[in-house]
Structure 1
Amino acid sequence: MNFELTGDQTAVVDLATSLFREHGSDDHIRALHEKDASIDRPLWRKLSETGLLSIALPEAAGGAGMGMLELGLVLQQQGRFLAAVPLWTHALATLAVGTHGVPALRESVLATLLSGERPAAIATELDARAGLTATPSQQGWLLDGELPSTLLEPWHGFLLALATTPQGRRLFLLDLQHVAPERTSGRLTDLQTVCTLNFSRVFVAQDCVLDAPALDWLWPRMACCVSALQLGVLEEALSRAAAYVSERHQFGRPLGSFQALAVRAADAYIQVELLRSAQLQLAWRIDQGLPCEAAARVAKHQASQAGHIVGHTAQHFHGGVGADLQYPIHRFYLKSQAQSLIAGGAEAQLAHIGRALADTDIAEYIHE
């Protein structure tokens, strides 16, 4: 079986690498951090102009007609350069509207989403119970409740969020120009803005709600994107750590030649390759229309576990300089830890897998 990338996929990787490298030098990223800038707007415009924002959207809806595998390849390159753009949330929200929005919603917002003029965020807490309730009202819905720990920048124009309706849990696309919940904002260690959003009888139009299958559709794709971005972050962090201990000498020998470091580096490398396999399998299953809930949980678990192991390993290999807030490897560490927690950490994924195993015939679960 041939596992090599196709010509089109290679072209996508080359284009993404070129753009992210242009806007992803260590000096450029450090300057953004020093300015507390969480979004690189010139890079965002380049992504829009080249069509990478809509790479997974069907051609009929104005996209490139590729899939989650290609989007994952782009996100992997973003992770390698720590590019400060909300690519995965915007790409998924756009895809959700294009495939699960009613015609009126697609007609009103899809062109804006495709342009990237107003990026879209996603309230990533989709498990357990929804933080919002949606009550039918004349020509629309009234939203009440709280969305905690939502990654939302002031620049975002849309938010894809979960709410409980009388008919069950549904996804809503909220236009933040017209929907203004109360915000309590803070910053994560990797400079992303995180908000608690409080809704009190906030009106949204009837056509803001996506169709019922959208919720089950969204989670595996979220796991796929987060895992791909994490893969790029960890791959580059480990590469830099390996180069560092190969160049630094102690007792007349490279640090990397000492057995303790070599074994730990091998363990970290295995974690990265496990994540690569899990992420690629998940992307392939999604694109092939195969069951993917189990694969999504495994990939997200591995993204969180590898984030902890590889992130710490790469930083520790740099010794005291790894703790320097201005040194590049520290930014990779911060990003890997933030990515580990999005949409639930390793323990949360294991809990889901355990419940699924308890409720499902083991042979059927393994076959999936």
Structure 2
Amino acid sequence: MDFKLTDDQVAISDLATSLFREHGSDEHARSLQDAGQAIDRALWQKLVDTGLLAVALPESCGGSGMGMLELGLVLQQQGRFLAAAPMSTHALVTLAVATQGSSVLRDRVMPSLLSGERPAALATELDVTTALIAEPGELGWILEGQLSNILLEPWHEFLLAPAQTPQGTRLFLLDLKHVAPKRTTGKLTDMQTVCELYFTRAIVSVDSELGTSALEWLKPRMACCISAYQLGVLEEALHRAAAYVSERQQFGRPLGSFQALAVRAADAYIQVELLRSAQLQLAWRIDQGLPTEAAARVSKHQASQAGHMVGHTAQHFHGGVGADLQYPIHRFYLKSQAFSHIGGGAEAQLARIGRALADNSFAEYIHE
């Protein structure tokens, strides 16, 4: 089998690398942080203009007609440069609306999603029972309850989130201009804004609900995006760590020549390559229409496991300076830890894999 990327995939990856390098230097990141800006607006517009924001979207919906493999390549490069744009969530929400939403919903919101004019956020804790209840009413759905651990910046105007309905858990696209829940906000260690949202008899239109299979459709794609971004973060963190210990001298020798560091670096490299394999397999299975539950669990577990191990290794290789909040490697450490816990950490994924194996839920995947 030929596992090489196609010419189109290489071109997309190169375009993403060029764009994110321009907007992802350490100096640029520091300037955004000093200005208190969580989003690089100029980068966001370029993602729209180049079509990278819609790379996985069907051509019939205004996209490039590619798939999760290509979107993963773009997100991997974004992770390498920690470019400040919520691309993965917006791209997934746009794809969900285009493929799982009603024609009424598509006609109403797709133009503003495609243009990037109204950015969309996504509730990432999809495996947790939601405390938001949706009841049918005369004017639409009535929302009551709470959403927890929502990564939501002030500039986001849409939120795709699950709610409990009489028919089970469904996904709803909430227009935050019209549905204004009470918010309690905080900051994660990587400076993302995290919110608790409280709804009191908020009314949303009937067409805000996505299809009955949308939630299960979304889960593997979210795992794919998280894993791709984490792969880029860890690749760059390990690259920087290797460069540092190759140059830093101790006892007249480069630090990297000491066996203890070499073994630990090899372990970290193996973790990164395991994540690459898991992420690529998941993306390929999604694009081929194959069962994805097991691959999604494995990929998310490896993203969490590798994030913990490689993030700490890269920071420790830099010694005391690695703990400096203003030193570049610390940004990669914080981001790797934040992405390790999105959707549940490594232990949570192992527990779900164990339960699925005990229930024989992966039989179709194992024996195909």
TM-score tier by shorter-chain length is over 0.9
Q: TM-score, normalised by structure 2?
A: 0.98
Change (3 A) 1:115 1:296: same
Structure 2 residue identity aligned to 1:42: A
Equivalent-residue separation in structure 2 for 1:143 and 1:7 (angstroms): 47
DSSP 3-state at the match of 1:57: coil
Q: Alpha-carbon deviations, 1:189-209, whole Å to 9, x = none?
A: 111110000011110001000
Q: Alpha-carbon deviations, 1:288-323, whole Å to 9, x = none?
A: 000000000000000000000000000000001101
Aligned to 1:286: 286
Aligned to 2:111: 111
Q: Does 1:299 align with 2:299?
A: yes
Q: Is the 8 A contact 1:24 1:83 kept in 2?
A: yes
Aligned to 1:188: 188
| Structure 1 residues 82-231: aligned runs within 5 Å | 82-231=82-231
Q: Does 1:320 align with 2:315?
A: no
Q: Does 1:39 align with 2:8?
A: no
Change (3 A) 1:362 1:59: closer
Q: Alpha-carbon deviations, 1:160-194, whole Å to 9, x = none?
A: 00001111110000011111000001111111110
DSSP 3-state at the match of 2:326: coil
Q: Is the 8 A contact 2:294 2:362 kept in 1?
A: no
Equivalent-residue separation in structure 1 for 2:12 and 2:136 (angstroms): 44
Change (3 A) 1:244 1:291: same
Which moves more between the two structures, 131-140 or 273-282?
Answer: 131-140
Change (3 A) 1:130 1:329: same
Equivalent-residue separation in structure 2 for 1:236 and 1:243 (angstroms): 11
Over aligned residues, Cα RMSD in angstroms? 1.0
Q: CA deviation at 1:361?
A: 6.8
Q: CA deviation at 1:244?
A: 0.2
Gaps of 5+ in 2: none
Change (3 A) 1:243 1:60: same
Structure 1 residue identity aligned to 2:263: V
Structure 2 residue identity aligned to 1:345: G
Q: CA deviation at 1:365?
A: 4.8
Equivalent-residue separation in structure 1 for 2:359 and 2:262 (angstroms): 42
DSSP 3-state at the match of 2:184: strand
Q: Is the 8 A contact 1:131 1:162 kept in 2?
A: no
Gaps of 5+ in 1: none
Which moves more between the two structures, 357-366 or 204-213?
Answer: 357-366
Structure 2 residue identity aligned to 1:244: Y
Structure 1 residue identity aligned to 2:245: V
Aligned to 1:332: 332
Q: Is the 8 A contact 1:17 1:77 kept in 2?
A: yes
Aligned to 1:6: 6
Q: Is the 8 A contact 2:300 2:349 kept in 1?
A: yes
Which moves more between the two structures, 316-325 or 127-136?
Answer: 127-136
DSSP 3-state at the match of 1:238: helix
DSSP 3-state at the match of 1:146: strand
Equivalent-residue separation in structure 2 for 1:34 and 1:330 (angstroms): 16
Equivalent-residue separation in structure 1 for 2:107 and 2:44 (angstroms): 23
Equivalent-residue separation in structure 1 for 2:362 and 2:275 (angstroms): 23
Structure 1 residue identity aligned to 2:145: G
Structure 1 residue identity aligned to 2:183: R
Equivalent-residue separation in structure 2 for 1:362 and 1:339 (angstroms): 26
Change (3 A) 1:322 1:361: closer
DSSP 3-state at the match of 2:78: helix
DSSP 3-state at the match of 2:178: coil
Q: CA deviation at 1:129?
A: 1.4
Q: Is the 8 A contact 2:185 2:194 kept in 1?
A: yes
DSSP 3-state at the match of 2:133: strand
DSSP 3-state at the match of 1:126: coil
DSSP 3-state at the match of 1:194: strand
Equivalent-residue separation in structure 2 for 1:76 and 1:224 (angstroms): 11
Q: Alpha-carbon deviations, 1:201-226, whole Å to 9, x = none?
A: 11000100000010100000000000
Equivalent-residue separation in structure 2 for 1:34 and 1:127 (angstroms): 36
DSSP 3-state at the match of 2:33: helix
Q: Does 1:254 align with 2:254?
A: yes
Identity %: 75
Equivalent-residue separation in structure 2 for 1:363 and 1:98 (angstroms): 31
Q: Is the 8 A contact 1:357 1:365 kept in 2?
A: no
| Structure 1 residues 62-73: aligned runs within 5 Å | 62-73=62-73
Equivalent-residue separation in structure 1 for 2:68 and 2:361 (angstroms): 29
Q: TM-score, normalised by structure 1?
A: 0.98
Q: CA deviation at 1:343?
A: 1.0
